[in-house]
Amino acid sequence: MPYTIVLGNEKGGTGKSTAAMHVITSLLRSGHSVATIDVDARQGTLTRYIENRRARKEATGEDLPMPDHVPIFKSTLPIVEEAEDQEKTKMNDVMSKFKGYDFLVIDTPGSDSYLSRLAHSYADTLITPLNDSFVDLDMLVRVQSDDLSILHPSTYSEMVWDQKKHRAIRDGGKVDWIVMRNRLSSIYSRNKEEMEKILSALSKRIGFRLVSGFGERVIFRELFLNGITLLDLKETNTAVSLSHIAAKQELKVLMDTIQLPMRLQQAC
């Protein structure tokens, strides 16, 4: 099976699809074969990103490497057990189709669903983008309001723990969980300092690796509409600003943090 990277968080608006597309393009431009699945097919942000990319490539002839992509929609069957069986069959069929690829990248919805939980259980690496907000933090951990001490892991953390167990039971595999602090402000604030302290403590308690992601930049919204990423600027003759250069360095740090298996690093 391909090495599977899942972008997941049950909170919407954290930048999962943007991070997914940049991870995908980075892998493609490193010479890997990459397949992608969008289990948030109803909203379909990653699917639309890839469609925008394909349309631009066809219109301009630019060198824009493409993944092989499949969206998976939720079942419409009324009985829960039958719907879940149908969704599991769809997921297994698509994953079987992608057996020969180096990487599989899966984007998940910002809500709980059977398909999302199933996708998490197949992750070799799980990347959870998280905005520097106590609203977003609440999906990972409950904290005491007066001194911000950790009370207990929250909804999403418990779900990830369950899927780690499912993965271990199914094939003995392990899930490397990375929490990516995303859309970071360049301005110092007490909130940022407190988030850093809480997440560092939580990482040791529930077992994830903490990394800084992308800064808050308008360029990401512009890139989406054109179907391109920070790694496509040269091929598309896009004017490069200091913001582009800083964001590209952030992407490099993220890709280094993922720590590809040695067999795949050697293929680069």
Kindly list the domain boundaries of the chain, sorted by start residue.
3-265
Residue 268 confidence (pLDDT): 42
| 125: region left, alpha or beta (phi > 0 left; psi from -120 to 50 alpha) | beta
CATH class for the domain made up of 3-265: alpha beta
Distance (Å, rounded) from C-alpha 133 to C-alpha 192? 9
Residue 243 confidence (pLDDT): 81
| 31: region left, alpha or beta (phi > 0 left; psi from -120 to 50 alpha) | left
Q: How far apart are the first and last CA of the chain?
A: 18
Residue 178 confidence (pLDDT): 94
Distance (Å, rounded) from C-alpha 181 to C-alpha 200? 11
Mean pLDDT, 10 residues at a time, the chain of 268 residues: 93 89 95 96 94 96 96 95 96 94 95 95 94 82 75 87 93 92 67 80 86 80 90 89 86 86 52
Residue 128 confidence (pLDDT): 94
Give the Å distances, CA to CA, from 118 to 81, 90, 164: 14, 11, 11
Residue 267 confidence (pLDDT): 44
Residue 264 confidence (pLDDT): 54
Check if the beta carbon of residue 150 is closer than 8 Å to that of residue 206.
Answer: no
224-249: b (≥16 Cβ within 10 Å) or e: bebbbbbbbbeebebeeeeebeebee
Check if the beta carbon of residue 212 is closer than 8 Å to that of residue 253.
Answer: yes
Residue 22 makes CB contacts below 8 A (sequence gap 6+) with 229, 230, 231, 251, 254
Residue 181 confidence (pLDDT): 86
Check if the beta carbon of residue 72 is closer than 8 Å to that of residue 91.
Answer: yes
